[in-house]
Structure 1
Amino acid sequence: MDFILQNLPTIFALMATGVFAGLLAGLLGVGGGIVIVPVLYFLFQAFGVSPESAMVIATATSLATIVPTSISSIRAHRKKGNVDFTLLKLWAGFILLGVLVGSYLVTIVNGQWLTVLFGVIATLSAINMLLGSKKAIFNSLPGTTGQSFMGSSVGLFSSMVGIGGGTLTVPMLTFCNYPAHKAVGTAAAVGLLISLPAAITMLVIGVTPPDAPFGTFGLVNLVGFICIVPLTVLFAPIGANIASKLDAQKLKRVFAVVLLITGIRMLAQLII
């Protein structure tokens, strides 16, 4: 009991992260990872964790939280027929290969490199949201070789920065003239293919940093997982309900600006 009381500020902050991520997921349809990683990155530092350790733990913990939320999302999209299982069968092996390589790299590289990678991906994602272009660049998906590169790239980079499938998969597919609703539904399934093996790898072979926050096993902060997941699931429908009464496009632009500032700030922290 004393242990819990001593760490109440951290627990409340992690719970607030779950509420924030759930509301934004419902409001804007964005994946939790793109929200959870930067929040945990700065939150852990506020409690005395080094930037390098904060980034690897934020990455692993984010991936763990994506597992249950992606399962829920897959069920919803599958009922609507928006999950392309044919594409998933083709991509699954390549995604898994990318995830295993990416997950292993997280356990051995300096967290600064992961911060740079996340900062770049967050900045590019924000620019893509702000421009709002839905126009396809290609007429269709490439052949097997091209798709193998797409799948392995999604697995590699997503597992290295703690995000699900949506941030990279949806733009990739829509740029190839793939139906937007199916891209979103299929990306939910890609998120599970990424998050489950990545989280297990980082939990089992990751070495806990000496300055890690309490409740960290391997590289996954299980206290964060326990605090974030139920609240994310609880508040996502509330966010969706609020979104139906507000201008979702304006909200998305506001989030894109915040994400852009966050990405730039993470990059700047390494320079300044």
Structure 2
Amino acid sequence: MATFIAALLPTRGLAIFFACFMVLMSLQMLANIKPKPSRSLPGPLGVSGVGLGIGGISALVAIGGGSLTVPFLTWCNVKLPRAIGTSAAVGLPIAVAGALGYIINGWSTQGLPSAALGYVYLPALLLMAPFSILTAPIGARLAHRLPVNLLKRVFAFMLMGLALQMVYAVFTA
């Protein structure tokens, strides 16, 4: 659903929204602001609504659902290892739904590269997917060995850099 909204938005506006979202996320990580665990998971209807919201935001700003799923679950007193595992499990359907949405929405768009399937650029997908699969175990090992605060800072600065690069590209194009 969010991919249909994203397809209707002007590219510049979507890029600015995405950059602002990344800056807010990076500032939250740098400030180490976390909601206090103060509740339990809502019932099936509530969890479904939260899942739709997380999936929609993830598709709209092109992020993995984990950046929103883990904080929500820990806020609901789910232990961090279980929250991370659950986040990894729901990441695949979020990614597949988002990709299908961008394929469908871009299907009849003119001016896309010949190797694109809708808004999905196949050469990038074919190059990124195997390397992601190969490096994911390395990242998982590093995540268990490195201090959490260091990982958060590195990721926050990476997000901030990407946001600044995106804003620069939008306003210099």
TM-score bucket (shorter structure): 0.7 to 0.9
Partner Cα distance (1:241, 1:139) in 2: 31
Conserved? CA contact 1:208–1:216, under 8 Å: no
What CA RMSD, in Å, does the superposition of the two structures yield over aligned residues?
Answer: 2.7
Conserved? CA contact 2:115–2:123, under 8 Å: yes
Aligned residues: 171
> Equivalent of 1:194, from 78, 94, 100?
94
Partner Cα distance (1:144, 1:249) in 2: 33
Partner Cα distance (1:213, 1:120) in 2: 28
| 1:106 to partner: Cα distance | 2.5
Matched, 1:117 2:17: yes
Partner Cα distance (2:8, 2:157) in 1: 32
Unpaired runs of at least 5, structure 2? none
User: What TM-score comes out, normalization by structure 1 length?
Assistant: 0.54
With over 3 angstroms needed to count, the CA separation of the structure-2 counterparts of 1:119 and 1:136, relative to structure 1, is same
The residue number in structure 1 matching 2:83 is 183
| 1:230 to partner: Cα distance | 0.5
With over 3 angstroms needed to count, the CA separation of the structure-2 counterparts of 1:135 and 1:190, relative to structure 1, is same
With over 3 angstroms needed to count, the CA separation of the structure-2 counterparts of 1:193 and 1:174, relative to structure 1, is same
Unpaired runs of at least 5, structure 1? 1-100
What residue identity is the alignment partner of 2:133? V
The residue number in structure 2 matching 1:102 is 2
Partner Cα distance (1:252, 1:119) in 2: 18
With over 3 angstroms needed to count, the CA separation of the structure-2 counterparts of 1:128 and 1:226, relative to structure 1, is same
Q: Secondary structure at the match of 1:128?
A: helix
| 1:268 to partner: Cα distance | 5.5
Matched, 1:171 2:100: no
Matched, 1:263 2:169: no
What residue identity is the alignment partner of 2:36? A
Conserved? CA contact 2:3–2:105, under 8 Å: no
- My pick for the range that moved more, 225-234 or 154-163, is 154-163
Query: What whole-Å deviation, never above 9, does each CA across 1:83-117 have from its counterpart, x for those lacking one?
Result: xxxxxxxxxxxxxxxxxx21212333222232123
| 1:135 to partner: Cα distance | 5.0
Conserved? CA contact 1:127–1:256, under 8 Å: yes
